[in-house]
A and B are shown apart, each in its own frame.
Chain A
Amino acid sequence: MLSFTFGPTNLTALASGALLWPAESLLCVSDLHLGKSERMARRGGSLLPPYETRATLEKLDLDLERTGARRVICLGDSFDDLAAAEGLDEEARLWLTRLMAGRHWVWIEGNHDPGPVDLGGAHRAEMTLGPLIFRHEGGGMGLEISGHYHPKASLAGRGARPCFLIGKSRLILPAYGAYTGGLRAEHPRFDALIGPGARAVLTGPTPLLIPRPRRS
């Protein structure tokens, strides 16, 4: 766990890639991409190990249990596409229902899942809570928390790991799903988005805070 301030709020980056807002008992995760292997198979591609939904839900289950969060925001691309959401097997549906029970749960729309899914919870294009605005793809107004880009970074010879990018007014979450690649934190696309002086928090066994890596 690594705590930092973002605007007027105190937030915590979890080693798993989830963001905790303790004052609101809120857990935010982005880009779960549930059902990804199913979607690839449907399109005639290779048959990846069909275990990523289980792996992602196990991780989320553990984070909810540890933090005791009462509110959850899934920041878009929760499902690899809308058909993948419908195609979830019975086990995954029941699991999700159990996690949602007794919690205030919001699905934010992403480019992969641009419509409501038949799983309960609230569905929003974006959402404002106190001083913060939550949307899938960053770049808008306000003190913003977003996902979409799957940032990742590496340090001292370790392989690249998903990371948080923390700027002055924008915070980008790593992808939380098991089968998700990433875009290097040094990619120029982040320059304007996250601004100068940004920091990164690497996920892993323990979260690590570093300056955002820059292109040489």
Chain B
Amino acid sequence: MLPQALTIWFETQGWTLHPHQTAMLARARDPSALLIAPTGGGKTLAGFLPTLAELGPAPPPGLHTLYISPLKALTADIRRNLRTPIEGAGLPLRVEDRTGDTTYTQRRRQRADPPHILLTTPESLALLLSYEDAPRMFAGLQRVIIDEIHALAENKRGDQLMLQIARLATLCPGLRRIGLSATVEDPPALAAFLGAGTQIHLADPSPDPDIAMLVTDAPPPWSGGGGKYAIPAILAEVARHQTTLIFHNTRAQAEIFFHNLWLANTDDLPIGIHHGSLSREQRERVEAAMTAGSLRAVVCTGSLDLGIDWGAVDLVIQVGAPKNVKRLVQRIGRANHRYNAPSKALLVPANRFEVVECQAALEAVRAHDLDGEPRGPGPRDVLCQHLLATACAAPFDADALFTEVLQAGPYSTLTRPEFDDCLDFVATGGYALRAYDKWQRLLLRAGKWQLRDPRAAAVLRQNLGTIIDTETLKVRLRRQMGGLALGEIEESFAATLSPGDTFLIGGQVVRYEGLNEMTVEVTRAPSKNPRVAVFSGSKFATSTLLTQRILEIFQSPSWPDLPRHTAEWLTLQREISQLPQPGRLLIESFPHDGREHLCIYGFAGRNGQQTLGLLLTKVMETRGLAPLGFVASDYATLIWGLDPVSDAAPLLDLAPLREGLEGWLAGNAVMKRGFRNVAIIAGLIERNNQGSRKSGRQATFSSDILYDTLLKYDPDHLLLQITRTEAMRGMVDFSRIEALLTKVEGRIDTRRLTRPSPLSAPLLLEPGVVPIWGEGRERMAADAARELLRAAGLD
């Protein structure tokens, strides 16, 4: 039961518990529980009520409850929110947070004398568990609460966290776990992630959202993103509502949109921008202004998907097709963050095709049909890091640790040979051709694995965590005394800038002046055509569920629900060619602009279609079909070349494509980037820290060199296996191509047309063309070198 003081305090506040909060209190003794509740449903309090009840008015010393959230900002917010009832009821409880920002003295004190409730992040928990005194610090821990577990379960942070919880369960027998989640498509899968035997509690669903497509006078353009055409209509909506969140899928699009929005904002409505590449000060200023209610709108990206409740938000606008229904529903929940109030949202398709996708998304939201791609078993690079971290704390027994790891949901199907491969890798490097006989990292002594050199623990601790940052450079205004920090851009983008180039950051146009140490110096400079910083890896692929729904929409005899311009476009496609069908593959070929084109409607998502383009052009080259380039979207790949392809069907044989994949993957930049991440997480290379880059030492070398070496001498090495597995699902996404071609089973419709079809037309305008060149690359570089020498007068 709740302490009397707390019940009284609730009554004086006029608070009554929601049914799911009472339920969590009643089932407090369950060893593992998952609460799924809509945003604004008081989830977090539901998670903490049993703790407050158990600790009561005279709590014994020691750590009782550990709370883990994906965001640092959220832990601070929860601490403030918990304080209100605890102080209101006069309970003598210590609640503290611990993140990367916690001071050294406070961290030391927390380890010696832990609070009753500790709020932290997966990364800080990894660190705490890697210390020798972890068993003492966590002794007596009763409950662990994982907030926003749906977000953590989507990536390696969640996998790592589950390994840590398994560790905690060993240290603290009887530990109970509680997961708190927003609405998800597959509650049992999330429950299994949290651990075997997890009980699911579903809170009452929130009322259906008030959601529609934003109808504008001007039809959306044929291709491109950004939704610039809708700016007047969006500004009118902002003026009509109190506070609007305007979501974009990429940071680059948010930047362009904000820039254009500001140019059109003649009423001077206070509007801010928020995304992950802006400086912390910039973001905090926007967040503070939001909390104070002084902003009418914020243009944002996924950086605002989670986080602090802003009760005043009464409209969410999603610009660009949502790509994924689950994320859309969670974003919509950001509006009217109050229990039992419907959220209001508008979808703004950025181009003609996205009109259909937005319609498909609307129908899916109304049908409560959520998507999600199963992630597969827990990645082994994370396990490698966990083994090293465990060895930092104390020597371990391999059999016992294997049994423990199986308790972590994502690793429940791990086999002993897979575990042993990881152990072999961290201990010996796991190399086939040559071994480090004398210099193993872990040694087996008296039946337990331990660090050969205990001093290595300090460096290993510094490298804990699964978040890999891309290499970025800070951007500052050039001033005598050090100017204002604006944000960060990726190093690869900075490398393409020359002095005088202008680009957008934080909604401002700035002029690149030069590089000073590791900072990009800029000045403010109005310019009509600024460049947009490229942020790699921020493009989502449209989910399988949405592409299926789009194909279904294509099958209807007419489209009364779609705007007229879009319905007419689809009708025209049906007359001139045909619309793609589920379970079949449509391929059109046509001449255009002096080139022969081939359009393959695979609906396999952007990454999958991109991979298909790379593989098909490779096959075409070997057959002398001279492809010149291709471009891919979420729905189709368009390839052009000199000769017409009369029969495209044989090109789509799975076996040769698979073969091409093996060869192509090896030298691919995507693989190298993936390998770098895997190698950092698994502990093969240390994070490139700013310090060593700044000193200009020539000691660090790129992970590409290690990748090339491994590929040449040890192609079956564990880290290469992991990299390949991830690429197949992620950036390369060959799994979707495979699924498609298996389902189609040769049911391929080829249409020869005299000109581009209506459906293929947008692809002709799509940016991101990939030229095909082999030898040409070296030749072009030689030309560039000659030109540079001539210009410098050195030839």
The chain A residues found within 8 Å of chain B, CB to CB, are: 38, 41-52, 54-55, 89, 149-150, 154-159, 175, 178-184, 187, 189, 197, 199, 202, 204-206, 208-211, 215-216
Contact = CB atoms under 8 A, between A and B. Distances in A.
Given A50-B429, A181-B699, A205-B778, A155 B784 contact: yes
Interface stretch (B140-148, B152-160, B450-458, B473-481): B450-458
B706 A48 contact: yes
B781 A208 contact: yes
Contacts of A187: 696
A46 B436 contact: no
Interface stretch (B606-614, B629-637, B660-668, B712-720): B712-720
Given A50-B436, A55-B712, A154-B495, A183 B698 contact: yes
Which 8 A-B residue pairs are closest in the complex by CB-CB distance? A47-B429, A44-B453, A181-B701, A41-B439, A150-B698, A211-B792, A44-B456, A51-B713
B789 A206 contact: no
B310 interface: no
Contacts of A183: 696-698
A46 B685 contact: yes
Interface string B509-543: 00000110000000000000000000000000000
A49 B713 contact: yes
In this complex, the member of A42, A158, A205, A216 whose beta carbon has the largest number of chain B beta carbons within 10 angstroms is A216
B439 A49 contact: no
Kindly state the interface size class of chain B when it binds its partner: 35 or more
A208 B698 contact: no
Nearest to B463: A46
Interface of B: 428-429, 431, 433-436, 438-441, 451-453, 455-456, 459, 495-496, 498-499, 514-515, 683-686, 696-702, 704-706, 709-710, 712-714, 717, 778, 780-782, 784-785, 788-789, 792, 794
A138 to B, nearest CB: 14
A157 B773 CA distance: 15
Given A150-B698, A199-B794, A159 B704 contact: yes
A84 to B, nearest CB: 12
A111 B710 CA distance: 28
In this complex, the member of B441, B702, B712, B785 whose beta carbon has the largest number of chain A beta carbons within 10 angstroms is B785
A208 B779 CA distance: 11
Contacts of B499: 216
A34 B717 CA distance: 22
A210 B789 contact: yes
Contacts of B696: 183-184, 187, 189
A199 B793 CA distance: 11
Contacts of B781: 155-156, 158, 208
A180 B714 CA distance: 20
Nearest to A213: B788
B710 A47 contact: no
A206 B794 CA distance: 19
Given A38-B439, A157-B496, A50 B698 contact: no
A206 B782 contact: yes
Given A50-B436, A210-B789, 5 more contacts: A46-B683, A47-B439, A155-B784, A159-B704, A210-B785
Contact of B788 (A42, A52, A157, A210): A210
B698 A44 contact: no
B714 A42 contact: no
Contact of B684 (A48, A52, A154, A158): A48
Given A42-B438, A44-B453, A206-B778, A180 B698 contact: yes
B439 A182 contact: no
B698 A149 contact: yes
Contacts of A204: 778
Given A49-B431, A197-B794, A211-B792, A178 B780 contact: no
Contacts of B709: 49, 51-52, 55, 178-179
Contact of A211 (B702, B782, B789): B789
B704 A156 contact: no
Given A45-B456, A49-B706, A211-B794, A216 B514 contact: yes
Nearest to A148: B698
Contacts of A38: 436, 439
Contacts of A45: 456, 459, 686
Contacts of B515: 215-216
A189 B697 CA distance: 11
Contacts of A51: 431, 433-434, 709-710, 712-714
B700 A44 contact: no
B789 A50 contact: no
10 contacts: A46-B685, A47-B429, A50-B435, A51-B433, A51-B709, A181-B702, A184-B696, A208-B782, A208-B785, A216-B498
B772 to A, nearest CB: 16
Contact of B441 (A47, A50, A208): A47
A77 to B, nearest CB: 10
B441 A180 contact: no
A47 B684 contact: yes
Contacts of B794: 197, 199, 211
Contacts of B685: 46, 48
A178 B705 contact: yes
Nearest to B514: A216
A41 B430 CA distance: 13
A150 B701 CA distance: 11
A40 to B, nearest CB: 9
In this complex, the member of A46, A49, A175, A184 whose beta carbon has the largest number of chain B beta carbons within 10 angstroms is A49
